[in-house]
């Protein structure tokens, strides 16, 4: 999730250490205490706080799209009010997507199964992701996108390869958030090999790998600004305070191999947490740092605001939430409501833009701040209801039915 997954089978227990039983979590899973305060070994099969954190991340993307001052999304009549709202939400989408990319690497590593095959892993990812993807693609095409989307672009979007084209009318085609699933496709294809390679890293060297990948993420905008032409800026970018060319923006934010750094960082941090090589600062301080970094994003050059400023607090927050679950500590993200919202968050992520764009299409005129707030609240409620339906009727039953090959299903039936 990824956007689509933060639960799994749990990490294998180290053979050399017998883990200590800890308090049972709300789902009945047993936590594991740390040995001499130095190593954390998890017997948890799930990390409910990470599941609960998925919905706030998806909500950040939702509010970012409600704040975009483009005619096909804008609701506010007053220009100043529209720009003020955009100023607040401008970097929320980038924060949410980066969170999901790091979370994806963390959770897939945490839940990796030693006896798993590459084919079995890819099968589970496919049945988890693609049915929702195709349904939301079709909805977007039917409701609004077919009127202005060339056939070739629509087909590229259907097969998740549109993110490889450095053109906004392709990158943002059909269902705009779908570009991130094109990145996830590369992540999933690479995960089995990356997991084998990262397991070979000595525990003493994990911190250097984490530092190096973090530095690479933070340096990406510097390289884009330094090595690529500064003109022409992408359409409308200057007016929005987003000073970069299409190519600079694509390379530093959209290009799948570059975004795989986020995913790899999540993998490395999961290994560090698993083996007690992570210095946890706690959820509160991680949240404070993340909030502070979001404010700073408004005062740095555009490309730096997209992930460089927030990457460290994101990593700290994910690791802190996982550590809290391992040790059976309370978090506000592991209650039943938050876990349920986290479970439908992939459907929410894929549906929200369809709801926003279609509702804007059928609404006439522009609105006051109070009216806009009411409309956005209604869009949010509708998206949650539709997301629950998509999860309950499509995602969950298909995942349960088709995650395993027929022979394995017959054995467990």
Element of type H or E holding 262:
helix 256-274
Q: What is the pLDDT of residues 110-145, one digit of tens each?
A: 998 878 899 999 999 999 999 999 999 999 999 999
DSSP string over 271-327? HHHHTT------HHHHHHHHHHHHHHGGGS-HHHHHTTTTHHHHHHHHHHHHHHHHT
Element of type H or E holding 382:
helix 369-390
For residues 41 and 342, which has the higher predicted lDDT (pLDDT)? 342
Q: Is the dihedral of CA 310, 315, 320, 321 positive or negative?
A: positive
Q: What angle do CA 406, 411, 413 make, to 5 degrees?
A: 90
Q: Read off the pLDDT of each residue in 81-106 and give the average, rounded to a whole number.
A: 96
Residue 44: pLDDT over 70? no
Residue 64's nearest CA partner among 21, 104, 95, 107 is 95
Tell me the pLDDT of the chain averaged across its residues: 87
Pairing between β-strand 20-24 and β-strand 39-40 as defined by DSSP bridges: unpaired
Residue 188: pLDDT over 80? yes
Element of type H or E holding 24:
strand 20-24
Rounded CA gap, 304 and 385, in Å? 35
Q: What predicted TM-score, i.e. pTM, was given to this entire model?
A: 0.88
Q: For residues 157 and 178, is the Cβ–Cβ distance under 8 A?
A: yes
How would you list the strands of the sheet with 30-35, edge to edge?
20-24, 30-35, 39-40
pLDDT at 25 (0 to 100): 30
Rounded CA gap, 202 and 125, in Å? 29
Strand-pairing partners, residue 208, are: none
């Amino acid at each position: 999730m990824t956007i689509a997954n933060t639960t799994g089978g749990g990490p294998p227990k180290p053979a050399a250490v017998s883990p200590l039983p800890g308090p049972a979590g709300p789902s009945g899973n047993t936590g594991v205490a740390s040995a001499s305060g130095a190593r954390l070994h998890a017997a948890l099969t799930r990390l409910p706080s990470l599941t609960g954190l998925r919905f706030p991340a998806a909500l950040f993307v939702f509010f970012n799209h409600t704040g975009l001052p483009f005619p096909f999304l804008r609701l506010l009549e007053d220009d100043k009010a529209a720009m003020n709202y955009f100023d607040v939400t401008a970097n929320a989408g980038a924060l949410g997507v980066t969170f999901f990319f790091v979370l994806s690497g963390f959770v897939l590593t945490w839940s990796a199964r030693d006896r798993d095959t590459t084919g079995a892993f890819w099968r589970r990812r496919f049945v988890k992701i693609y049915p929702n993807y195709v349904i939301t693609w079709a909805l977007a095409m039917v409701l609004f996108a077919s009127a202005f989307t060339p056939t070739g672009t629509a087909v590229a979007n259907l097969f998740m390869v549109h993110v490889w084209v450095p053109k906004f009318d392709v990158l943002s085609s059909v269902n705009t958030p779908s570009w991130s699933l094109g990145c996830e496709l590369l992540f999933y294809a690479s995960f089995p090999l990356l997991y084998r390679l990262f397991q070979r890293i000595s525990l003493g060297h994990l911190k250097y790998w984490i530092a190096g990948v973090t530095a690479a993420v933070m340096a990406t905008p510097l390289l884009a600004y330094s090595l690529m032409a500064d003109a022409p800026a992408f359409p409308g970018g200057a007016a929005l305070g987003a000073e970069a060319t299409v190519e600079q923006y694509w390379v530093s934010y959209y290009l799948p191999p570059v975004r795989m750094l986020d995913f790899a960082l999540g993998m490395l941090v999961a290994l560090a947490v698993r083996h007690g090589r992570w210095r946890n600062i706690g959820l509160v301080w991680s949240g404070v740092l993340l909030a502070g970094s979001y404010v700073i994003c408004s005062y740095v050059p555009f490309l730096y605001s997209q992930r460089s400023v927030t990457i460290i607090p994101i990593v700290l927050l994910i690791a802190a939430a996982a550590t809290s679950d391992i040790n059976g500590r309370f978090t506000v993200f592991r209650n039943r409501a938050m876990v349920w919202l986290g479970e439908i968050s992939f459907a929410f992520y894929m549906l929200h833009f369809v709801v926003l764009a279609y509702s804007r299409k059928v609404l006439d005129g522009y609105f006051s701040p109070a009216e806009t707030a009411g409309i956005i609240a209604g869009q949010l409620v509708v998206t949650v209801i539709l997301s629950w339906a998509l999860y309950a009727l499509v995602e969950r039953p298909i995942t349960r039915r088709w995650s395993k090959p027929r022979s394995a299903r017959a054995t467990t039936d």
